[in-house]
Amino acid sequence: MKKIRSKLQSRQGETISEVLIALLIAALALTILASMISASSNIVVTSRRVLENYYSAAPEATSGKATVACEDVSISFDVSLYKNRLGNKEVFSYVMKGEAEP
């Protein structure tokens, strides 16, 4: 504590090595910050491109009727199946509407 107090009260400046080390630390911090900003920018651009490709792909729709029977109850579903291509993968989604038939 006394060393810090005497350092604050003294009229002497910093040594050249202390100044160079402080500049080195500041330069490293700025370099890390710039690389983080660049990486996040690349992530945003990539995700926008993937989403645009996904939403611009025209979905292929297939409709049909599915029926499930169990003892004296039969349930029919109108099924619409949508198929999109996302890169080399196929993404499926569907819509079902059902009615119970006695």
24-74 tens-digit pLDDT: 999 999 999 999 999 999 999 998 888 777 666 545 556 666 676 777 777
Domain of 92? 58-102
Distance (Å, whole) CA 37 – CA 45: 12
Q: What pLDDT is stored for residue 36 in this prediction?
A: 97
Q: Is 44 in the same domain as 26? A: yes
Q: Is 3 in the same domain as 37? A: yes
Q: Is 90 in the same domain as 72? A: yes
Q: From 51, 48, 59, select the one nearest 85 (Cα to Cα).
A: 59
How many domains is the chain partitioned into structurally?
Answer: 2
Q: What is the pTM of this model?
A: 0.45
Q: Is 43 in the same domain as 6? A: yes
Q: Is 74 in the same domain as 42? A: no
Structure-model confidence comparison of residues 93 and 22, the more confident one: 22
Q: Is 24 exposed, middle or buried (0-12, 13-18, 19+ CB in 10 A)?
A: exposed
Q: Is 81 in the same domain as 41? A: no
